[in-house]
Amino acid sequence: MFYGAITIIPSPFEGLRSVATPSKIFNVVSIGNASIDPCLWGLQKYISLHNLSGQSVMEIKNHVLQVKTILDLDGLDLPKWQVIAYNEIIYGIKPWGMPPYHHVPTHPFRLPSKVGLLPRIILLTNYTISKFNTGIDFSYDLWFKRENRTNGVWPGDAELMIWLYRHDVNPAGNKIGEISSKVIINGTIKSVSWEVWLYKRMGTGWLYIALVLKKPVREGTVGIDLTELIEKIKPLFKKYLGTNVENMYLMSIELGTEIFYSKHIDVEWVLSKYIITAYNKNISSLAALSDTLQRFTINSSSSIRETGGLPENTKYTSYNQFTSETSASPGETTSRTVKGVHEQDHSLAVAISLIVSAIIVFMYVITRK
């Protein structure tokens, strides 16, 4: 059963842009069903330096996402494996929280949510990595927590990266094996191999897992069954965290490009389609991939809107305890601003919410009398 789809790209918010610089390393901007952030988190320790220049720009042009990062880091001498940026699209709530204007769709599923309550999720993208002069990867980044709280990531939590493309870099940790799965690649469903990398204690102590496509795709359409991949690495959660991944909360699904250190960085990429589809878990991976391919092939004309949803008789619980009072951690910040149409949209939403609340209170008082 097809529950529905969320179209993130193409986006109807033509002209929206987010710019980050060495002195302003975060800038979350809503683009409808998700938000974008150039996220120069690797420069967080060096904001006070005055000999760093350049910028990273993410912009909606012709309804697709165009990303360009040019940085001059002559003042830094870092190892080549140091991540400088993760230009990202964020769906859900990051473990460190999100600004109040960040939209979290409720259909066909909502994040954060317990993994065991999620439907089968297919992630479909069309992208081009057009230019780079340093190590990069194009990847998904997912965060799993024991508790649905935006207080950072700690021992007992986990990060899963899914690398669709890489150049001159490896994930953290060591390669521990391989798995296989079916994926959509340029209009065809194929069986592919993934390298499995693992690092037991990343950052503040969380478990890090990376799945790396053995035959990387620099340009084209790629669709993956996220549910199947999580199922395949379920034993790692049990072995290293002592828990069933289905009892953990998936906080967010992020997609973007990690950019690694170079004194002069020049990277460009384009995301022309990003659609998330959801299905009943009883449907096979092959059936879900086939249906997504049929509905949303790259040459089809998909509407720029959120469609579908869970049937009324489906028992489904979503979780969202988001609060704007979040704790920052290394690599993140909670003081982020956005200008223009989204401030107006958010203000309107707040006004409507206040009016509805006032009506409810008024009716309560009247009934009490």
Q: Does residue 134 carry a pLDDT above 70? A: yes
Tokens (6 digits) for 120:
């089968």
CA distance 205 to 368: 53
H or E element at residue 368: helix 341-368
Phi, psi of 230 (to 5 degrees): -65, -40
Which CATH code, of 3.40.640.10, 2.60.120.180, 3.40.190.10, 1.10.1840.10, is assigned to 2-338?
2.60.120.180
* Residue with token string 């060495």: 22
What pLDDT, on a 0 to 100 scale, did the predictor assign at position 314?
Answer: 30
What pLDDT, on a 0 to 100 scale, did the predictor assign at position 320?
Answer: 28
What pLDDT, on a 0 to 100 scale, did the predictor assign at position 290?
Answer: 97
- Whether the model clears a pTM of 0.85, i.e. scores above it, the answer is no
What pLDDT, on a 0 to 100 scale, did the predictor assign at position 50?
Answer: 82
Across 163-202, b (16+ Cβ under 10 Å) vs e yields bbbbeebbbbbeeeeeeebbbbbeeeeeebebbbbbbeeb
Instruction: Determine how β-strand 136-145 pairs with β-strand 17-20.
Output: unpaired
Across 128-161, b (16+ Cβ under 10 Å) vs e yields ebeebebbbbbbbbbbbbeebbbebbbebbbbbb
Q: Does residue 57 carry a pLDDT above 60? A: yes
What 3-state class would DSSP assign to 355? Answer: helix
Confidence of residue 358 (pLDDT cuts 50, 70, 90): very low
